[in-house]
Amino acid sequence: MSYGAQLLIAGSGPTGYFVLKWIHVLGIVIYAGGFLALTRLMGHAVRFESEESRRDAFRIFKRMHKFVDWGGLFLTVGAGLWLLVWNPLSKSYMGHESGYFHMKLTFVLILIVTDVIFSRRLFALTAEGEQPKAAFFRIIHGVSALMVLLTLLAVFVVRG
């Protein structure tokens, strides 16, 4: 096995560390972008007049959430945990002097809880009958956008 592959598998050393950081960031972009887009679109889809249109939209949105959003979340959390637990360069994040990291984790946890609430509502949707209010999805969209912004603020401003 090549040295680069060993570093990637071990997650240590500069090469493996930066590859895992890029995987982590890629997962963030996929997850946050997909989740924000989906919550915005759901606010419109519940107001469709036709049951057939709603059925098609809900089917597409459920697939998008399962495969794109949760795939990005898996990449983000998987690479983040790998970096945190097994990489010696990341051990300093859990110290008392890194308040920004604890802020970041708190905002990410709130975002994941928001996703769980959204997912329960999304997978319970049917095209027939009374539809949930669009305001619910607007609130979920606003909370998730706020958590993404606060996470970025913690990482890039508070961290300095």
Number of domains in the chain: 1
pLDDT at 18: 84
* CA-to-CA dists, residue 126 to 34, 46, 51, 55, 61, angstroms: 21, 10, 9, 7, 12
pLDDT at 100: 81
Cβ contact 125:58 at 8 Å: yes
DSSP code of residue 96 = T
Kindly give the confidence (pLDDT) of every residue in the chain, 160 residues in length, as a single tens digit, with 9 standing for 90 and above: 554 555 455 555 567 778 888 999 999 999 999 999 999 999 999 989 889 999 999 999 999 999 999 999 999 999 998 888 876 666 666 665 667 888 899 999 999 999 999 999 999 988 888 888 999 999 999 999 999 999 999 888 887 6
DSSP code of residue 55 = H
- Residue 124 belongs to domain spanning: 3-158
- The structure tokens listed for 87 are 């990489």
Query: Tokens 């508070």 belong to which residue?
Result: 158
